[in-house]
Structure formats: structure tokens, C-alpha cells
């Protein structure tokens, strides 16, 4: 049994067909139309027989009038059937593809962050754009073609067997022989096609990177290097495509030759019967015509099988993602986190990214409702990683995180994330209006609320200078927004979300001291009564925190208030000293007052005993 026939009823195609259950009526009418087209095809040799025998041999003048009328009617019916069949099948095909695209996108959106770290953005895009289109080709061209041709083959085969079963047997011997090259070609195409799609995804990823990162390409003068890399990739694509071209180009002639052998045999075998007078010229001609018509769809089966194998390779890649298991799972009956201030408790939490070493080790941290906790420490210590565990961007490797005493793995993800407003370390905005960017987490916010948040984050000033104000699209601004402006927009977005848990990861790092102080005030107002995690390198911005947690090498090395930690003269004290040393240098340059001797200036003003 050829590969495509088994696939038709099991595996991927079955999965695809199940997606169009509600189009059964359309499929049925398309099938009916196909039967009509196929039957009209089979009628051609029948007409030919009567033209030969009734008009040419018997010279029947009544038939001379009747047959042309019959031919016209035949072609009109055939034309209409062809139209409906093509339209209906394409419609169903496009519909499957649309649903597949939606399912794929929905699935990708639901996959955890770790998935996006593993996959390249451009490669994922290629699955939705390129791979899905190949699936479409398979559904609307090949699957339609196969059904149509199968009906046609059946019709013509019945016709020739009725005409002369012995001759028909001789003519159809080649059919089983033909299946061998068909399945061989198909196998090759599938393999090459998988390679081609992977190469295409790789190229998309490359394009995405070099276009979005073009500033760096230019700044480091790497244009020639990137052009070369692209050339290698496009050459790879070319080679893989040519391999497919060879197989495709070969499959037609091979099938045709097989057909030629069959025809030669029939001419010899049938010709003898005509010469011996056991068969009419008409029957023989119509028989040859039927066999020629029959070989055509058989030859096409090979072509369609190639397209199907290519489509199956693409479908595999698409379903790979649709069926990709998510590591972040919800339990069957998750608890909904109610609104309100929350207590967050880390209990002996350890965490490592899937491929790397342990990043967080034995974290114990109990944060009371409304408490402001500052996380400080050297770069790469694990601060961002720690706060990323709260909205379950990743799950802990060991230990639990509890919200109000409930393991966060037991609560509904949506309700958990609703409780959290976050300003991430790198500002992320979407190509939408400023207004929609601010209202991203709260789309029902009124214009007044949006402007209030914008004012609090000091966004209002520069936004009102844009020609379209709050309706200006971020994309229209190109790269016009400064780092600090982007950061303030992200803060406005978090302010508007107005959630009881606040995570600020270096939220004001790109601001100058003056605007930082202003935004800081807005944030401090906001933090009141909310459970807040604030990460900062500039220690002056976290002095007000209820508790400062110093993280180093994935461990909590110190906790306490600003004053307590200074007294301890440990890690925090040292961090302060390094930063104040910087302040001293600045002080010297600007001629500011520096307290030397037995005290050193820490953090813009706080004096500590050395
Ligand atoms: N997606 C990831 N996959 C693997 N390792 C990661 C990933 N993200 C971060 N890491 C590693 O985890 C460690 C902690 O990173 P993290 O971003 O939490 O540090 P951080 O304290 O926030 O640093 P910074 O102050 O520079 O922002 C680093 O060694 C980093 O290389
Ligand atoms: Mg970080």
C-alpha cells in the first residue's frame, strides 16, 4: 500500500481532516462535483467509440446531429462541476489552513517563556508563514487532485474492463509497478523538504536578527560578513531546492515511460485482434483513448504524492509545536487568586534554566502583604531570575513559592498574573498607539486614567509633543524614543494596571537623576500598600525599602533595612562603598564637598562610619 494511502486515514492527514468536521456538506458537494468531472472524462472514449462506429463506419446521419449536441451538454456540465469542485475544495483547504494558523499562533502564545528562549523568533515566524502555506498546497491541490484522479481512475478502469477485460488486465499490469517509483520519489521529497523548511526557518531567523540588530551590524562594520553569511544560507536553500527539482522532474518522465510500455503492449495485443477481425476499430480506438486518459491521472498520482510528502513534512513541523508540551501546567481545578494585598513566600527555592547550572540556591524569603523588598547585588546574581519565578515565567526546580500560603503551581495562571504589574529590565513596547501601549494590561481604562498614569510616569510631557499625541504609533516614531522615554512608558503601563503585586526590575535605570527622582516619587506612591519587589543597581533608589535583600551567586547573603545592613558592614556596605567611591570621584570633579577621614559619603548623602 503506497505511503499516502495509509496516511490518508491515519496520522497527520486524519488530524487535518478532523479540523473540518463542520464542512462536511461542502466536502460532500465537492466530491459529487468530482464524480461528475470524472464521469464526464470517462464519457469521452464512449463518445469517441460512437463517432467511429456510428458516424464513420455506419454513416448514421441521426447520430451525426445527436453526438455534437451531446458533446456540448457534456462540456457544459463538466465545466460547472469543475468550477464548484475547485471552489469548494480550495475553500475547505484555505479554511483548514486558517484554523491551523490560528491554532499554531494560539499554542505558541500559550507556551512558556522558556520555549521562546529555545526557539529563534524568525524560525517560529517561518512556521506560521512558510510551513503552513506548504500545508495549504497539499490540502487544496494534492488532496483534491488525488480524490479527483482516484474517481477518474476508477471510472476509466470500469470502462475498459467492460470493453475487453483481457486487454484491460494487460493494460493495468503497470499500475502496481508504478506504485514503486511513486513511493520512492515521495520518500525523497519528504526528506529534502524537511531539510528545506529547516533551512528556510534558519534563514528567517537570520533575517530577523540582522534586520532588528542592524544598528550593531553597521556600527561594527559587519555588512560584508553578514552578506557572506546570507549567501551561504541562500546557497544551501538553492541546493536543497535543486535536489527536490531533480526528483520532481524525474518523476514525470519515469511514469510516462511506464505508460509508454503499456501502450506499446496494447497496440500490439489489440492490433492483432483488430487484424484478426475479433474486434471493431471503434472499440479498439476508444480502448486506447481510455487507457491514455487513465495513465494521465496515474502519472499525476506521483506528482501529487510528492506534494503530499512535502506537505506532510510541513504538517509535522506545525504539529510539533501544536503538540509541544508546556512545562508550565495548570492543575485541574486551579484556585483563583482574589484581588488584594498578597503575601509571597519563597521556601527553599532553587532554580536552574533547563540547560545551565543552578542559578538560585536555597532561597527563603517571606514577603508580607504591602512590604517593599529591594533586591540588590552583583550582575548575574539571579535577581531577575528570582522575580521571574513569581508570575511563573519559569517553575522552580526545587522548593515552593506561595501566594497567601497557597503554592503558586496550584492557582490559575491568569488570576496570578492579573495580580502582578511588572516593569521588565529591557523596555518592551508594541507597534501600536502610545495610548494602547499604556493601556496594554487594562484595555478598558478611560482616557482620563491613561493620562493620569502617563502624568505620574512623566510620560505626558514628551507624548504631548508628538504630532498625534497619545494616538501616535510607536512604530511611526521609529527609533525616536530614548531609552528613558521607553522606560517611562513601561512604568506608565505598570501604573495603570494597578495590581497588588509590583515588580520593578531596574525600572528607572535609564533615567537621569532628576527625572529618576520624580518617577521614583510616583513609584513610591504606587508601592504604598502593595507587595513590591524592586531591583536596582543604584542603591540610592532603594533606601526607603522595608527590607533590602542582597543576592550574590544565587544565594541570599544579607537581609535587613538600609541602616541595619550598613551597621553590619557586610556585602551591602561594600556595595555602598563602591558606589560612593564613584560619587566621590564625581564630587572631586565637580568640586563638591567630600567628607574624608573617618567617614565616607555613601549614596548621595548618607554618612556612615568607616
Ligand atoms: N534564559 C536563560 N537561560 C539560561 N541562563 C540564564 C537565562 N537567563 C539568565 N541566565 C543566567 O542566570 C544567571 C542570573 O541571571 P539574572 O538575569 O537573574 O541576573 P541578574 O541578577 O538579574 O543580573 P543583572 O543585574 O545583570 O540584571 C546568569 O548567570 C545568567 O547567565
Ligand atoms: Mg537582571
Q: Which parts of 381-424 fold into alpha helices (H)?
A: 383-388, 413-418
Please tell me the residue having the least CA distance from ligand 1 atom 18: 382
Cα dihedral 24→26→28→29 (10° resolution): 170
- Return the C-alpha cell found at 204: 528567517
**Gap from CA of 323 to ligand 1 centroid (Å):** 29
Share of the chain above pLDDT 70, in %: 92
What pLDDT is stored for residue 549 in this prediction?
95
Please say whether the beta carbons of 335 and 411 come within 8 A: yes
pLDDT band at 6 (very low <50, low <70, confident <90, very high): low
Looking at domain 344-560, does it have CATH number 3.40.50.720? no
Segment 484-512, tens digit of pLDDT:
888 889 999 999 998 999 999 988 888 88
Task: Please give the class, per CATH, of domain 3-322.
Answer: mainly alpha
pLDDT at residue 344 above 70? yes
Please tell me the residue having the least CA distance from ligand 1 atom 9: 385
Segment 17-63, tens digit of pLDDT:
777 777 888 888 988 888 888 788 778 888 888 888 888 888 888 88
Of 380, 504, 550, 552, which is best to mutate to test ligand 1, by the most ligand atoms within 8 angstroms of its C-beta? 380
What pLDDT is stored for residue 52 in this prediction?
83
What pLDDT is stored for residue 363 in this prediction?
95
Of 11-15, 138-142, 242-246, 396-400, the poorest mean pLDDT is in: 11-15
Shortest-distance ligand to the CA of residue 352 = 1
- Return the C-alpha cell found at 579: 558606589
> For the chain, how are helix, strand and coil distributed in percent, rounded to 5?
65, 10, 25
**Gap from CA of 116 to ligand 1 centroid (Å):** 15
pLDDT at residue 546 above 70? yes
Of 384, 386, 505, which is best to mutate to test ligand 1, by the most ligand atoms within 8 angstroms of its C-beta? 384
pLDDT band at 557 (very low <50, low <70, confident <90, very high): very high
Question: Residue range 264-275: average pLDDT?
Answer: 86
Please tell me the residue having the least CA distance from ligand 1 atom 26: 379
pLDDT band at 182 (very low <50, low <70, confident <90, very high): confident
What pLDDT is stored for residue 503 in this prediction?
94
Of 41-50, 324-333, 528-537, the poorest mean pLDDT is in: 41-50
For residue 445, give Cα distances in angstroms to 436, 442, 490.
Answer: 10, 6, 16
Shortest-distance ligand to the CA of residue 383 = 1
HEC assignment per residue over 82-148: HHHHHHHHHHHHHHHHHHHHHHHHHHHHHCCHHHHHHCCHHHHHHHHHHHHHHHHHHHHHHHHHHHH
Residues having CB closer than 6 A to ligand 1 are 117, 353, 356, 359, 379-385, 425
- Return the C-alpha cell found at 448: 482620563
473/234 Cα distance (integer angstroms) = 35
Of 117-126, 290-299, 367-376, the poorest mean pLDDT is in: 290-299
pLDDT band at 598 (very low <50, low <70, confident <90, very high): very low
Domain boundaries, the chain: 3-322, 344-560, 561-610
Shortest-distance ligand to the CA of residue 359 = 1
In degrees and rounded to multiples of 5, residue 549 shows phi and psi of: -115, 120
- Return the C-alpha cell found at 401: 513559592
**Gap from CA of 540 to ligand 2 centroid (Å):** 18
Please say whether the beta carbons of 182 and 305 come within 8 A: yes
What pLDDT is stored for residue 194 in this prediction?
92
| Of 42, 204, 40, residue with least CA distance to 119 | 204
Shortest-distance ligand to the CA of residue 536 = 1
What pLDDT is stored for residue 477 in this prediction?
66
pLDDT band at 193 (very low <50, low <70, confident <90, very high): very high
Q: Closest ligand 1 atom to the C-alpha of 113?
A: 1
Of 349, 381, 424, which is best to mutate to test ligand 1, by the most ligand atoms within 8 angstroms of its C-beta? 381
**Angle CA 313–146–189, to nearest 5:** 30
Contacts of 113 (CB under 8 A, 6+ apart): 388, 393, 394
Of 119, 353, 393, 555, which is best to mutate to test ligand 1, by the most ligand atoms within 8 angstroms of its C-beta? 353
- Dihedral class, residue 337 (left if φ above 0, else alpha if ψ from -120 to 50, else beta): beta
**Gap from CA of 604 to ligand 2 centroid (Å):** 24
What pLDDT is stored for residue 47 in this prediction?
84
The model's pTM is 0.80
Please say whether the beta carbons of 439 and 496 come within 8 A: yes
Buried b (16+ CB within 10 A) or exposed e, 481-516: beebbbbbbbbbbbbbbebbbbbbbbbbbbbeeebb
Question: Residue range 316-337: average pLDDT?
Answer: 90
Name the DSSP letter for residue 337.
P
Strand, helix or coil at 374?
strand
| Of 387, 353, 371, residue with least CA distance to 536 | 387
Amino acid at each position: 500500500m503506497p505511503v499516502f494511502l495509509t496516511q490518508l486515514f491515519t496520522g497527520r492527514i486524519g488530524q487535518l481532516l478532523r479540523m473540518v468536521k463542520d464542512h462536511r456538506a461542502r466536502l460532500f458537494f465537492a466530491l459529487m462535483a468530482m464524480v461528475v468531472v470524472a464521469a464526464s472524462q470517462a464519457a469521452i472514449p464512449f463518445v469517441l467509440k460512437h463517432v467511429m462506429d456510428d458516424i464513420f463506419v455506419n454513416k448514421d446521419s441521426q447520430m451525426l446531429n445527436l453526438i455534437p449536441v451531446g458533446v456540448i451538454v457534456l462540456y457544459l456540465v463538466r465545466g460547472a462541476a469543475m468550477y464548484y469542485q475547485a471552489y469548494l475544495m480550495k475553500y475547505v483547504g484555505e479554511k483548514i489552513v486558517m484554523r491551523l494558523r490560528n491554532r499554531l499562533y494560539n499554542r505558541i502564545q500559550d507556551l512558556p517563556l522558556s520555549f521562546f528562549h529555545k526557539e529563534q523568533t524568525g524560525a517560529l515566524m517561518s512556521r506560521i508563514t512558510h510551513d503552513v502555506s506548504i500545508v495549504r498546497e497539499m490540502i487544496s491541490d494534492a488532496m483534491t487532485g488525488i480524490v479527483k484522479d482516484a474517481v477518474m481512475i476508477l471510472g476509466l478502469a470500469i470502462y475498459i474492463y467492460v470493453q475487453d477485460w483481457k486487454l484491460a488486465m494487460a493494460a493495468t499490469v503497470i499500475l502496481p509497478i508504478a506504485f514503486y517509483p511513486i513511493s520512492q520519489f515521495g520518500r525523497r521529497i519528504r526528506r529534502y523538504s524537511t531539510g528545506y523548511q529547516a533551512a528556510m526557518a534558519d534563514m528567517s531567523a537570520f533575517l530577523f536578527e540582522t534586520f532588528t540588530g542592524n544598528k550593531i551590524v553597521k556600527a561594527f562594520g559587519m555588512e560584508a560578513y553578514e552578506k557572506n553569511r546570507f549567501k551561504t544560507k541562500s546557497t544551501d536553500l538553492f541546493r536543497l531546492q535543486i535536489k527536490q527539482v531533480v526528483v520532481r522532474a524525474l518523476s514525470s518522465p519515469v511514469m510516462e515511460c511506464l505508460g509508454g510500455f503499456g501502450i506499446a503492449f496494447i497496440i500490439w495485443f489489440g492490433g492483432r485482434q483488430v487484424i484478426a477481425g475479433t474486434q471493431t476499430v471503434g472499440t479498439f480506438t476508444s480502448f486506447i483513448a481510455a487507457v491514455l486518459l487513465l495513465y494521465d491521472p496515474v502519472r499525476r498520482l506521483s506528482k501529487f504524492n510528492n506534494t503530499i510528502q512535502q506537505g506532510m513534512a510541513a504538517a509535522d513541523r506545525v504539529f510539533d509545536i501544536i503538540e509541544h508540551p508546556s512545562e508550565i501546567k495548570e492543575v485541574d481545578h486551579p484556585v483563583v487568586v482574589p484581588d488584594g494585598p498578597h503575601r509571597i513566600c519563597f521556601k527553599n527555592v532553587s532554580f536552574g534554566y533547563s540547560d545551565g547550572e543552578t542559578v538560585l540556591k536555597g532561597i527563603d524569603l517571606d514577603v508580607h502583604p504591602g512590604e517593599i523588598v529591594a533586591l540588590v547585588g552583583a550582575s548575574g546574581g539571579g535577581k531577575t531570575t528570582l522575580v521571574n519565578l513569581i508570575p511563573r515565567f519559569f517553575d522552580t526546580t526545587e522548593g515552593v513559592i506561595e501566594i497567601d500560603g497557597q503554592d503558586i503551581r496550584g492557582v490559575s495562571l491568569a488570576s496570578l498574573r492579573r495580580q502582578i504589574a511588572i516593569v521588565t529590565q529591557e523596555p518592551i513596547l508594541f507597534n501600536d498607539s502610545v495610548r494602547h501601549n499604556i493601556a496594554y494590561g487594562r484595555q478598558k481604562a478611560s482616557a482620563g486614567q491613561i493620562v493620569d498614569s502617563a502624568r505620574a510616569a512623566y510620560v505626558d510631557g514628551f507624548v504631548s509633543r508628538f504630532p498625534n499625541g497619545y494616538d501616535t504609533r510607536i512604530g511611526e516614531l521609529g527609533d525616536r524614543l530614548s531609552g528613558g522615554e521607553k522606560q517611562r512608558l513601561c512604568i506608565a503601563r505598570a501604573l495603570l494596571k494597578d495590581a497588588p503585586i509590583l515588580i520593578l526590575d531596574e525600572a528607572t535605570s535609564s533615567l537621569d537623576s532628576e527625572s529618576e527622582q520624580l518617577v521614583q516619587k510616583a513609584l513610591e506612591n504606587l508601592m504604598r500598600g502593595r507587595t513590591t519587589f524592586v531591583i536596582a543597581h543604584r542603591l540610592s533608589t532603594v533606601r526607603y525599602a522595608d527590607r533590602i535583600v542582597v543576592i550574590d551567586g544565587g544565594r541570599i547573603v544579607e537581609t535587613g533595612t538600609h541602616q541595619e545592613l550598613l551597621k553590619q558592614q557586610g556585602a551591602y556596605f561594600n556595595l555602598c562603598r563602591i558606589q560612593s567611591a564613584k560619587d566621590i570621584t564625581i564630587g572631586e570633579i565637580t568640586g563638591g564637598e567630600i567628607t574624608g577621614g573617618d567617614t565616607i559619603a555613601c549614596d548621595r548623602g548618607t554618612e556612615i562610619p568607616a
